[in-house]
Amino acid sequence: MEQTPLRVLMISSTGELGGAEQSFYEIIKALPQTQALPEVCLPSNSPLFRMCVAAQLPTHAITFRHFRRTINPFVLAGQIYAIYKTSQQIC
């Protein structure tokens, strides 16, 4: 029985080229296409977005809200709502 490839959503909220983003890119490129179908969500004006598009990876431009650490429940609720709205764009 043949298995269906696993859909994998990779998200970076900044898309800047630091060490974490380099690892992010290398992981996406290393995923075996027969076992995983990566989808990438990044800010459209970022270097990582341009790299993924150039590598012909399925890339989606998403506007991310700037998040900050807080214990204020109202700010946390707003951040969770922003994540929810962004996920609706991805689907």
Q: Report yes or no: 90 and 9 within 8 Å, Cβ to Cβ.
A: yes
User: Following CA atoms 38, 41, 45, 46 in sequence, which dihedral angle do they give, to the nearest 10 degrees?
Assistant: -60
pLDDT (tens digit per residue) in 62-74: 776 666 677 888 8
| DSSP, residue by residue, 58-78 | -EEE---PPP-----HHHHHH
pLDDT (tens digit per residue) in 27-85: 999 988 889 988 898 888 889 999 999 999 999 887 766 666 778 888 888 878 877 87
Instruction: Match 């707003």 to its residue by tokens.
Output: 78
Is the pTM above the cut of 0.85? no
Give 18-24 contacts, CB < 8 A, sequence gap 24+: 21/48, 24/48
